[in-house]
Chains A and B, each alone.
Chain A
Amino acid sequence: MELSESVQRGLRSLAEPSTFDQSSYGVLVDVSFRSLLSAKAEPGVLDQPELKQIDQILLKQSHTAATTFILEAVKHNADKSAISSCLEELAFSAERIEIFYSTHQKHKKELERLLASIGRCPPRINDASWRLQYHVKNDQVDKVNEPFYLISLNTENEGSEEDINFTCTVEQLQDLVGKLKDAAKSVEKASQM
């Protein structure tokens, strides 16, 4: 994992027992994970009693460095040896590495989910609703007498929902369902490979 100069510096101060004693180290590690996972940015996140004695600028630098490091580790799915060797190089004691790693393991899945949800992708289909109607006549043509479907696909894109509405005849719906079933079969085959 490549870390920038400022991140390395921030982490080195975090490793320093003279800057961060045992309890404040633990608190900062916890706070760093929590600030990544909370839905809203809390301005008072560093206002912990254990962190009051530390120079506030150093504190912020270490907090930033820690959160950056956490994200990089999750992003690259770093295993224990990768994290350990990285922190060892920055003069972290074995004990501190262990504390960091166990907190990392606790929150890893949730962080992964968070990162996976960032980014653009086409709207996702969540649901479909349908109506079967019988077309009797319209103003242009009399005696139509045909059944037809009104399909509504409920899609979601980055939090906003949209409905895609369209009509189809019985044959067209059969075609659509046939194609979807082909797709499902290909997923099943792929999962058995």
Chain B
Amino acid sequence: MLLVLSEDHKEHLSFLPKVDSAVVGEFGRIALEFLRRGTSPKIYEGAARKLSVPVETVQHGVEGLMFLMTESSKHMISEVDFLDSVLVLGFGEELNQILLQLYLQHHAQIRSILSQLPSNLPAYHNLEWRLDVQLASRPLRQQVVPTMTMRLLLADGADGGRSSRVLQTDPSSLLHLISTLEAALAAMKTSHARRIFRNIK
């Protein structure tokens, strides 16, 4: 598929052919750092001073480059499609190749960063467990109650914040839990599931 770039986007990127390839490479690096860690105005100011252009131009150039990379990675577009999409900008062959290299080198990384964004449900991280026997409590002494105490660690949201829940269960509930979740795993192996996985690509 081809990327359709808006007029604003094309304008932001029009800055790129005016600088030499080393600078484009540098902008690419800044764009990726932006994705990974965010950006600071100092970086833009430094570059703007060196190139004697307004800060805004540098910022738009970097952001335009970043958007080009993320959109391409999002749709996993092929080499050919990438070059065709970029052709529309009217850059020279060398610049197109630089952009392509940037895309090919980093698209896997960009995709993994992007895939961490839309998590609104906590995701399983780990389960720690412990077998205890309750011997006594304040209201009742001399008990023998086997108890499975567990700590469920969940990774919550894109910032990777961990939440942990302490839970308990008894041996029979534990067995029920195991059989229920094993049935869940078995659902993956049904012919129905396999057919869907095969056909939606």
- Please indicate whether A and B come from the same complex rather than being unrelated chains: yes
Q: Are A115 and B139 in contact (CB under 8 A)?
A: yes
Q: Are A122 and B166 in contact (CB under 8 A)?
A: yes
Q: A74-B140, A140-B117, A187-B148 are in contact. Are A125 and B173 (CB under 8 A)?
A: yes
The smallest C-beta distance from B66 to any residue of chain A, in angstroms, reads 14
The smallest C-beta distance from B143 to any residue of chain A, in angstroms, reads 6
Q: Are A181 and B178 in contact (CB under 8 A)?
A: yes
Q: Are A125 and B169 in contact (CB under 8 A)?
A: yes
B154 nearest CB neighbor, chain A only: A166
On chain B, the residues within 8 Å of A158 by CB distance are none
On chain A, the residues within 8 Å of B168 by CB distance are 121-125
Main secondary structure of the interface of A (DSSP, over half): mixed
On chain B, the residues within 8 Å of A129 by CB distance are 180
A161 within 8 A of B: no
On chain A, the residues within 8 Å of B166 by CB distance are 122
B175 nearest CB neighbor, chain A only: A184
Bound: A127/B180 CA distance, A: 9
- Chain A interface residue number, banded: 35 or more
Q: A184-B175, A184-B178, A187-B146 are in contact. Are A118 and B167 (CB under 8 A)?
A: no
Contact of B174 among A118, A151, A166, A180 (CB under 8 A): A180
On chain B, the residues within 8 Å of A74 by CB distance are 140
Q: Which residues of A line the B interface, CB within 8 A?
A: 74-77, 112, 115-116, 118-119, 121-130, 132, 134, 136, 138-145, 147, 149-151, 153, 155, 164-168, 170, 172-177, 179-184, 186-187, 190-191
The smallest C-beta distance from B157 to any residue of chain A, in angstroms, reads 12
Q: Are B139 and A119 in contact (CB under 8 A)?
A: yes
Q: Are A139 and B118 in contact (CB under 8 A)?
A: yes
On chain A, the residues within 8 Å of B196 by CB distance are 134
Bound: A163/B67 CA distance, A: 39
B193 within 8 A of A: yes
B40 within 8 A of A: no
